[in-house]
Amino acid sequence: MSNAKKAKPGIDVELGGETLTLVFDLWALAEVERKTGKTVSDLLGSGSMEGILVMLWAAARRFQPEITEEEVGHMIDFKDIPQLSDVLGKALSQASPDVNEGKDGKKKAIKQDGIG
């Protein structure tokens, strides 16, 4: 095991004067599905206010486990919604595996025929 210090996962976002760190780990993704009956992918482009709220709340709980949906909801002004869609997309991208990365963590070259 490497002694290299891992970077803290997540994306920081300031809402209502507080900084939340958003992480879409498996628990957050499953929590979004339990609460809404939809996947994060389904919700991202839907424009659903409930979806945005639940995604923010679930992603924030890794580092702020006591935060409630209501508290998150009161941190958000309607004018913040466009920025939040972008932030949620970045947090989700950070959580997604790099399909071009091998088990050793190094980038794999993709051949012309699509087989790496």
Asked if residues 100 and 116 have their Cβ atoms less than 8 Å apart, the reply is yes
- Which residue's structure tokens are 């991202």? 44
Q: What is the pTM of this model?
A: 0.73
pLDDT at residue 74, as a whole number: 94
Mean pLDDT by 10 residues, the chain (116 residues): 59 89 93 93 85 93 95 91 85 71 51 44
CA 15 distance to own-chain centroid: 15
- Which residue's structure tokens are 């989700």? 92
CA 20 distance to own-chain centroid: 12
pLDDT at residue 85, as a whole number: 80
Q: Is 24 exposed, middle or buried (0-12, 13-18, 19+ CB in 10 A)?
A: buried
